[in-house]
Structure 1
Amino acid sequence: MRICIVGAGAIGGVLGARLARAGADVSLVARGPHLEAMRTHGLTLIEGDARETLPVRAVETPADLGVQDYVFVTLKAQSVPAMVERMQPLLGPTTAVVWAVNGVPWWYFHRLPGPWEGHRLACLDPGDVQWTGLGPERMLGCVVYPAAEVIEPGVIRHIEGHRFTLGEPDGSKSERADRLSRALRDAGLKAPVRPDIRTEIWVKLWGNLSFNPLSALTGATLDVLCTDPGTRAVARSMMVEAQAIAETLGVRFPIDVDRRIRAGAAVGAHRTSMLQDLERGRPMEIDALVTAVQEMGRLVDVSTPTIDTVVSLVRLRARTAGCLAD
């Protein structure tokens, strides 16, 4: 089994290190100082008090690797279209692309029973670059739960979490999903295969679509956002609007809104990824986390007044800070 990780930053680094430790044939696509550090010194993974450096195959050019059985995409959503052409040498007739990307996936409506089957989300895949270049039939959903960070080039700190939930867009329990699940479990990770990956996507997205933009607008950490009466009310309103959209599309949430907000508060003084991007001057994940939900609301005729307001505000905040993705 040949596994390639495209975007070997924090989460990709955890995957790469764990798989390498387990003896898997894994390679990593990265760039800049992080790539050079992995080439020169190996990939260092810090977990608690343990620190281990593993030799890994790290490249900048995917064409150096050839066809893979599995390609993990662990980039931010807005970075993927520019990589599609470069990824082509990795893709063979049976290659599975494991979509380990936050937010609504561009392939969301692929093999979704009902009137919107095959619908394409314009804000996530302008010009159908991913639909035609990667192909929805290759997609294997993956909801990422671990938290990690690159603390210096070539060094990843795994903060918490071990679960990478897998699922086919059509809900089937496929051999390719089971095979990858076994490989991830051999690497000490949790990798359940679920028949309804979209429910998992929405439960995670519920927090991301509200807490991320609100943190960028206020500078507040999760514990404050979820307990301050004003921001909690805004987040809750956004989540209720999103729930109406998801339920129209057939999703049934296993928890309620208030429990999800309490779970966010329990994380503590965490700075969301969108706030971190803003502070570091990097493009912010607005479309995959928020705009796509707004677009889906239009599609299913569910009004989203709070989401609409927050999208407008956070896009302007990103533009004025030079952090609006192209």
Structure 2
Amino acid sequence: MRRPYRIAVAGIGGVGGYLGGKLAAHYQYSESVHVSFICRGEQALAIRERGLLLWTEGEMLRCVPHDLVSDPGTLAPLDLLILCTKTFDTHALLRACAHAISSETVVLTTQNAVEFKAALAPLIRREATIFEGAMYIAAGKVEPGVVRHLSGPAQYYFGTNGGDTERGGAISLLLSKAGIKAEFTEKIRSVLWQKFLFLSPAAVVTGLKGICIPEILQTVESKALYTSLFLEIRQIVEQKGVDLQGVTLQKQLELLGRFAEGVKTSFQTDLERNNKSEVGTLVGDVLAAAADLGLSVPNYTQALKSLRKKYPLILNNQHSKKAT
């Protein structure tokens, strides 16, 4: 008898809670698909007690995975690993569950990073498949065991820069059956840079100004800062020869205005809660890319200094050497 198709979702926060919750709810009674959560602490305790409660599109789903593990070392061999951890936690996680990844495993990323595959590849068996991905969603953990999809659509893009369409299509179907809007693309590099081009400036402005995403448009100063940061990243993208598929500053500004009142970037939330932040990715990677290309990014340079001044305890000992 063939064993179940094994899926593990690592990191049950906003993104992981949505993706993992949808999968667990749909495949809860399936004998052919087995869903595991990888999480720790209060989140794990709450989910063990009552399942994950996912609020989305006006309804609450009680999501019970087949298994919940706090130690990735106990995982059985996986067919699909969905990485929803922060960028700085991903390497340790992959080392811990290396035994469960084989030539048959597909690894999906959701991190707010570009060209992340190159950093992950040395930690994953060469025969395994890595599909980079970008998740568009406003969601967050409300309390232990409860995740709320805050507003707007939830859309996941994943794929390659050419090829592997059959395998990608099969995973897209698997996710879609669970109610996840998922699309496989052979132009994932373009998709990742499009998201980063929006998110990085938004994260910096909300973190510095202490305002929500739609409030960026409400003052001349915050809108001007977002614009200057956007233009600095765009010059990097253009130098790299990435096709932005019609993305313009005006479209990005319009997107800011479509977020519901009160929606924050996860970067801002992490700073406010004194948690580790992705400054190394959202700011440090921009500075590193600009340096490699010989480009000037004075607004990002100043933004990092200002962030460190505002949040000295959590940013002066950061997690990426790029954020220097």
Q: What's the TM-score bracket when you normalise by the shorter of the two chains?
A: 0.7 to 0.9
Q: Could you tell me how far 1:68 is from its partner in structure 2?
A: 0.6
Query: Pick from 52, 57, 68: which aligns with 2:61?
Result: 52
Q: Higher strand share goes to which structure?
A: 2
Q: Could you tell me how far 1:45 is from its partner in structure 2?
A: 1.7
Counterpart residue number, 2:19: 15
Counterpart residue number, 1:36: 45
Amino acid at match of 2:107: V
Q: Could you tell me how far 1:287 is from its partner in structure 2?
A: 1.3
Structure 1: how far apart are the matches of 2:189 and 2:231? Answer: 17
Q: Could you tell me how far 1:292 is from its partner in structure 2?
A: 0.6
Q: Could you tell me how far 1:189 is from its partner in structure 2?
A: 1.4
Once superposed, what is the RMSD of the aligned Cα atoms? 2.0
Q: Does 1:132 align with 2:122?
A: yes
Counterpart residue number, 1:258: 250
Q: TM-score, normalised by structure 2?
A: 0.87
Query: Pick from 269, 272, 279: which aligns with 1:279?
Result: 272
Does the CA-based 8 Å contact 1:226-1:265 persist in structure 2? Answer: yes
Structure 2: how far apart are the matches of 1:44 and 1:257? Answer: 37
Q: Could you tell me how far 1:312 is from its partner in structure 2?
A: 2.5
Counterpart residue number, 1:244: 235
Q: Does 1:184 align with 2:194?
A: no
Amino acid at match of 1:4: A
Residues 315 and 184 of structure 1, relative CA distance in 2, 3 Å threshold: same
Q: Could you tell me how far 1:84 is from its partner in structure 2?
A: 2.7
Listed one character per residue, the Cα deviations across residues 123-142 of structure 1 (whole Å, up to 9, x for unaligned) are: xx5xxxx4421268632111
Counterpart residue number, 1:119: none
Structure 1: how far apart are the matches of 2:35 and 2:23? Answer: 7
Does the CA-based 8 Å contact 2:102-2:125 persist in structure 1? Answer: no
Does the CA-based 8 Å contact 1:226-1:262 persist in structure 2? Answer: no
Amino acid at match of 1:11: V
How many residue pairs get aligned? The number is: 305
Moved more, 181-190 or 215-224: 215-224
Q: Could you tell me how far 1:220 is from its partner in structure 2?
A: 1.6
Query: Pick from 65, 83, 102: which aligns with 2:112?
Result: 102
Does the CA-based 8 Å contact 2:115-2:189 persist in structure 1? Answer: no
Counterpart residue number, 1:164: 156
Structure 2: how far apart are the matches of 1:298 and 1:271? Answer: 29
Q: TM-score, normalised by structure 1?
A: 0.87
Q: Could you tell me how far 1:106 is from its partner in structure 2?
A: 2.6
Does the CA-based 8 Å contact 2:77-2:102 persist in structure 1? Answer: yes
Q: Could you tell me how far 1:145 is from its partner in structure 2?
A: 0.8
Q: Could you tell me how far 1:271 is from its partner in structure 2?
A: 2.1
Structure 2: how far apart are the matches of 1:250 and 1:94? Answer: 33
Residues 131 and 315 of structure 1, relative CA distance in 2, 3 Å threshold: farther
Does the CA-based 8 Å contact 2:276-2:314 persist in structure 1? Answer: no
Aligned pairs for 1:138-157 (under 5 A) are 138-157=129-148
Q: Could you tell me how far 1:73 is from its partner in structure 2?
A: 0.6
Does the CA-based 8 Å contact 1:71-1:90 persist in structure 2? Answer: no
Listed one character per residue, the Cα deviations across residues 124-164 of structure 1 (whole Å, up to 9, x for unaligned) are: x5xxxx44212686321111012222222222222242311
Structure 2: how far apart are the matches of 1:243 and 1:11? Answer: 26
Does the CA-based 8 Å contact 1:227-1:265 persist in structure 2? Answer: no
Structure 2: how far apart are the matches of 1:186 and 1:58? Answer: 22
Q: Does 1:76 align with 2:86?
A: yes
Structure 2: how far apart are the matches of 1:317 and 1:172? Answer: 45
Q: Could you tell me how far 1:4 is from its partner in structure 2?
A: 0.6
Identity in percent: 24
Q: Identify unmatched segments of 5+ residues in structure 1.
A: 111-124
Matched residue of 1:202: which SS? helix
Amino acid at match of 2:16: G
Does the CA-based 8 Å contact 1:171-1:195 persist in structure 2? Answer: yes
Counterpart residue number, 1:116: none
Q: Could you tell me how far 1:174 is from its partner in structure 2?
A: 2.7
Structure 1: how far apart are the matches of 2:316 and 2:109? Answer: 24
